[in-house]
């Protein structure tokens, strides 16, 4: 039972959206950014990342396009849509509520 992964479950999409709010990006870059941010203490697995991209794109929250790289491996860029921004905002408020809820529910019960 990897607590970390189970607790982080469901945040993948929000994490991705957060990275697309200010600029378009691609999978590898987002993954690297996360690793740096967390000093390697958490890694969004590739399989998880790419399935999340599919989900988000299918839901209309992001759109993708191939980058015009002239050298190196090709990159699939993602851009956030209005729908994606909406989802991000919703997820953020949901998270604030969930945090309080969990804090309340996991506090030792004294009655």
Structure tokens at 24: 């378009």
Cα separation of the two ends of the chain: 30
Q: Cα-flanking dihedrals φ and ψ of residue 85, to 5°?
A: -65, -40
Minimal distance, residue 37 CB to a copy of itself, in Å: 6
* Alpha carbon 12 to chain centroid, angstroms: 4
Indicate whether 32 belongs to the interface with a copy of itself (CB under 8 A): no
Minimal distance, residue 65 CB to a copy of itself, in Å: 20
Residue 53 binding: pick among a copy of itself, DNA, none (C-beta 5-8 Å cut-off by kind):
DNA
CA 77 to each of CA 2, 12, 45, 63: distance values in angstroms, whole numbers, following the listed order: 31, 17, 18, 8
User: Is residue 5 within 8 Å of 44, Cβ to Cβ?
Assistant: no
Nearer to a copy of itself, 79 or 102 (CB): 102
Indicate whether 47 belongs to the interface with DNA (CB under 7 A): yes
Minimal distance, residue 79 CB to DNA, in Å: 13
Positions touching DNA (CB under 7 A) are: 1-2, 5-6, 8-12, 26-29, 44-48, 50-55, 69, 71-77
């Amino acid at each position: 039972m990897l607590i970390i992964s189970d607790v982080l479950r469901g945040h993948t999409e929000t994490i991705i959206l957060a990275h697309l709010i200010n600029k378009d990006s691609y999978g590898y870059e987002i993954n690297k950014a996360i690793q740096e941010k967390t000093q390697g203490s958490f890694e969004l697995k590739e399989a998880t990342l790419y399935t999340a991209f599919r989900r988000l794109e299918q839901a209309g929250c992001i759109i993708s396009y191939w980058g015009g790289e002239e050298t190196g491996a090709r990159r699939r860029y993602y851009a956030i849509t209005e729908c994606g921004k909406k989802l991000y905002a919703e997820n953020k408020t949901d998270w604030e509520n969930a945090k309080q809820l969990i804090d309340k529910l996991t506090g030792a019960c004294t009655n």
